[in-house]
Amino acid sequence: MFLQNGVDLKNTVTGDPQKDKLAEDALDFYSLFARSGQAERVWDETMEVSTSAFAAGRVAFYFAPSWRVFEIKDANSALNFKVAPIPQLPGGKVSWASYWVEGVSQKSPNKKEALDFLKFLTDSSSMQLVYSEASKLRLFGQPYSRVDLAQQLSEDPYVGAYVKDAAWARSFSLASNTFDNGLNDRLIALLADAVNSANRGGSAKDALATYSKGANSVFSQFGLAPPVSPTPR
């Protein structure tokens, strides 16, 4: 919702009232669905996990990463469903993605061989073979990272939506399940605090100001922003 509303995730508070309102509006809208006393409230903590509810046929649709498909089919193999691209606002397309990335350590004594192996793995024929073999054991393999292979999966009922959305996908250090105990986890915790504050009826502006201050400190610690000056006493 932040991205679709034109928010710069690294600068949610800029000092420009018009830009800052984009982030505030997105947070306010998101919190309406759970905020006590709001007519739009359709969720609370007593409701079951969304994946379980969808697998049981009690939820019409929900947002999920590709690997949730396996959980849903394991829970209810008879459920007839497909994955659709993310709904878009008028005026442009943007979606969210996180990635598994292979790499080679600069310090590896076998760096050349490792890079040659990566080149082999990313060859189109290798990718198609790996996908085909994985699909014999589960519903689908790992979606191709090569753009020139996208068309082969674009109409798949489970993978097609992710391939189509990849063309305008963006990412940021708010990726869940990295378990990095660092940049992603700390920013997620700060954003969760902002969401919880809004859910309790707090001001979105104040919640985002607190998030932005904490995020700038985290960015600074990881060398992604200038050092934060200590607060005078």
The whole-number pLDDT of residue 38 equals 76
**Side-chain half-sphere CA neighbours of 218 within 13 A:** 21
For 124-135, how does the pLDDT look when each residue is reduced to its tens digit (9 = 90+)? 999 999 999 999
Cα→Cα distances 32→25, 37, 167, Å: 11, 9, 30
pTM of the model as a whole: 0.86
For 138-154, how does the pLDDT look when each residue is reduced to its tens digit (9 = 90+)? 999 999 999 999 999 99
Contact 71, 51 (CB under 8 A): yes
The whole-number pLDDT of residue 215 equals 97
Place of tokens 């396996």: 70
Q: Which residues of the chain have pLDDT under 50?
A: none
Domain ranges of the chain: 17-98+172-221, 111-156
